[in-house]
Amino acid sequence: MIRYILRRLLWVVFLLFAVSFITFVIFYLLPSADPAALRAGRQPNPALVASIRHQLGLDQPWYVQYGRYMKNLIFHFDFGFSYQNGVPVRQLIFSRLPASISLAAGAAFLWLVVGIGVGIIAAVRPRTKLDRASMGLALVGISAPVYWLGLVALYLFSSDIGLIPILPGANSYVPLSEDPFAWFSSLIMPWCVLAVSFAAFYSRLLRGNLTEVLNEDYIRTARAKGLSERRVVFRHGLRSAITPIVTIFGLDLGILLGGAILTETVFNIPGIGRLSYASIVRSDLPVIQGTVLLGAFFIVFANLFVDIFYAFLDPRVRYE
């Protein structure tokens, strides 16, 4: 197991290097807006643009720029400075990260509880009205875009424009350190909106896997031995059927920790997703690289955790 983890950690380092290089090459070689021209303001003269390009180091070859960036990142944990306002990228990311973590963690808890619960109920009562109703609602949840759900939720329940004003609306996010109750209430609606499609997909996936597992021979053997149906389902059936759920959960959570752009935009939450979108619009390369690296970091480490967790979830899985 230790050798496997060490190999995966080396692979993580390689992937992060590859992601940073590909991101840099894409924004350097492909046509895009000139960061120096954007920072120079409206109708800049060529001399001012050239001065800003020299100040930002954009007049040097791309491999020199990339080498300097990676050197500062590895030895000083320095992501560079924003081309737009000169603020350190690390400061921008760390100031937005708590909001994205709060949004992703709360939504993940909701969609796991609802998705797994509905999936189990539908699997143990197949072809019943409850099964058909839950899977039909799950299909609707998968089909509904998150930004549309967010706008509908604001129209119905927002405290400022809603028909039934019971929850704080957009632009109401408060950091946890300032007011825990206001933080919790401001995220209830974003959590629910973000969790809908994930919970629907998880419930349908678990329902299909668990229905198949409950027809296996070892499940019939467990029932023949006199085990209770709850023990058969949760101890033997669910443990085998939940393996794909763990896989996609690691990917989904890693992606959302890197920023939920649509949800953060609809509810005006100052997270990593909105920072990424703004930096792409402004061609702010250091911020783009920082947010992409952060998302890649969360994804690869979530996959590593999932692979390790497999060994505890399923005794048949062994890593040599």
**Residue 33's pLDDT is what?**
66
- Asked whether residue 193 is assigned to any structural domain, the reply reads yes
How sure is the predictor about 31, in pLDDT bands with cuts at 50, 70 and 90?
low
Domain stop point among 17, 48, 76: 76
Separation between Cα atoms, residue 302 and residue 305, nearest integer Å: 5
pLDDT value at 69 more than 90: no
- Asked whether residue 292 is assigned to any structural domain, the reply reads yes
Q: Which residues pair with 81 in a beta bridge?
A: 88
- Asked whether residue 82 is assigned to any structural domain, the reply reads no
Cβ proximity of 24 and 289 under 8 Å? yes
Cβ proximity of 259 and 271 under 8 Å? yes
Separation between Cα atoms, residue 200 and residue 136, nearest integer Å: 9
- Within this chain, do residues 168 and 30 fall inside the same structural domain, yes or no? no
Give me the residue label for tokens 């109920």.
121
pLDDT value at 103 more than 90: yes
Give the pLDDT confidence of 209-252 residue by residue, as tens digits: 999 988 888 888 888 888 888 888 888 888 888 888 888 998 89
**Residue 97's pLDDT is what?**
93
- Asked whether residue 85 is assigned to any structural domain, the reply reads no
Domain stop point among 11, 43, 76: 76
Domain with residue 279: its CATH number is: 1.10.3720.10
pLDDT value at 316 more than 80: no
Q: What predicted TM-score, i.e. pTM, was given to this entire model?
A: 0.85
- Within this chain, do residues 215 and 109 fall inside the same structural domain, yes or no? yes
Separation between Cα atoms, residue 255 and residue 295, nearest integer Å: 6
How sure is the predictor about 307, in pLDDT bands with cuts at 50, 70 and 90?
confident
Separation between Cα atoms, residue 85 and residue 52, nearest integer Å: 13
- Asked whether residue 81 is assigned to any structural domain, the reply reads no
**Residue 300's pLDDT is what?**
87
- Within this chain, do residues 105 and 185 fall inside the same structural domain, yes or no? yes
**Residue 200's pLDDT is what?**
94
- Asked whether residue 243 is assigned to any structural domain, the reply reads yes
- Within this chain, do residues 206 and 292 fall inside the same structural domain, yes or no? yes
How sure is the predictor about 286, in pLDDT bands with cuts at 50, 70 and 90?
confident
**Residue 210's pLDDT is what?**
92
Of residues 313 and 284, more confidence is placed in 284
**Residue 319's pLDDT is what?**
56
Domain region containing 14: 2-76
pLDDT value at 72 more than 60: yes
Cβ proximity of 291 and 258 under 8 Å? yes
Tell me the mean pLDDT in the region 274-283.
86
Domain count, the chain: 2
42-46, 210-214, 245-249, 291-295: which range is least confident on average? 42-46
Domain stop point among 18, 48, 76: 76
Tell me the mean pLDDT in the region 251-255.
88
- Within this chain, do residues 192 and 240 fall inside the same structural domain, yes or no? yes
- Within this chain, do residues 58 and 96 fall inside the same structural domain, yes or no? no
Please state, as a whole number, how many other Cβ atoms lie within 10 Å of the Cβ of residue 106: 18
- Within this chain, do residues 36 and 166 fall inside the same structural domain, yes or no? no
Give the residue among 116, 82, 29 at the shortest CA–CA distance from 282. 82
Give the pLDDT confidence of 119-162 residue by residue, as tens digits: 999 999 888 898 899 999 998 899 989 989 999 999 999 988 88
- Within this chain, do residues 69 and 127 fall inside the same structural domain, yes or no? no
**Residue 173's pLDDT is what?**
92
Q: Is 259 helix (H, G, I), strand (E, B) or coil?
A: coil
- Within this chain, do residues 106 and 152 fall inside the same structural domain, yes or no? yes
Give the residue among 99, 27, 92 at the shortest CA–CA distance from 260. 99
